Amino acid sequence: MAIYKRNNSERKGKVTYNTGIVKGIVALAISEVAGVALKTGKQDKVNLIKVNFNEDVLNIELSIDVIYGYNVPDVAYNVQQCVKHNVESMSKYKVDTVDVFVSGVIFDGNHVD
């Protein structure tokens, strides 16, 4: 078994993230939350997400539909928590705000998880 030690004093250079990478992480996080209905295809999901960079802090805005039968405030809160956790654990950025806009409720199973 190999052991990897990370020595911060030996770091050279800088890592930057493309906005598309962060949007992809957010889209992945949203898809993990029960009760959220998103349009099909990765490109549609990414277009519903806005990411604003302020140095090493992010402000994220996203729009979702909620599946009928789920509690809307609970789904929105779960989305906020999941997005914050995933972005902070998968990148160097800290998330300041996650604004969730619920644009509608999907009835009769006409949704894609």
Q: Per-residue pLDDT tens for 7-64?
A: 555 667 777 778 888 999 999 999 999 999 866 555 555 678 999 988 779 999 999 9
Please count the structural domains in the chain.
1
Instruction: For residue 41, tell me if it sits in a domain.
Output: yes
pTM above 0.85, yes or no: no
In this structure, is residue 9 part of a structural domain?
A: no
**What range defines the domain where residue 27 resides?**
18-106
Distances in whole angstroms, Cα of residue 82 to Cα of each of 75, 87, 90: 10, 8, 12
User: Which position has the token pair 């950025």?
Assistant: 93
Residue 26's CB is within 10 A of a number of other CB atoms, namely 28
Within a domain: 13: no
Residue with tokens 């996203």: 62
In total, the chain counts a number of residues equal to 113
pLDDT recorded at residue 87: 94
